[in-house]
Amino acid sequence: MHMEERLIPAKQSMIKAAQEIFVVTDHSKIGKVALHTYAPINQIQNLITGEEVPDLDIEPFKEAGINVYTV
């Protein structure tokens, strides 16, 4: 998800060209709603975020088969 509409086409192009998708986001964005979506959850293979994210917010990603890495 993204807050700036003008960046969406570039991100979608990168996703289309990629063999594997990594989403890197800080913990404050997990579980929130953004104005724009650039990829459905089924296109994401890996999520890297802060260890501050509650397990309850991480669980839907794990259930979707996404590798979750907290740092």
* pTM listed for this prediction: 0.81
The fraction of the chain above a pLDDT of 70, given in percent, is 96
Whole-number pLDDT of residue 40 = 86
Kindly tell me if the per-residue pLDDT of 47 is higher than 70: yes
Whole-number pLDDT of residue 50 = 96
- The DSSP string of the chain is -BS-GGGHHHHHHHHHH-SS-EEE--GGGTT---SB-SS-GGG--EEEE-TTS-HHHHHHHHHTT-EEEE-
User: Token pair 């979750």 is at which residue?
Assistant: 68
Kindly tell me if the per-residue pLDDT of 52 is higher than 90: yes
For the chain, the structural domain boundaries read 5-11+18-70
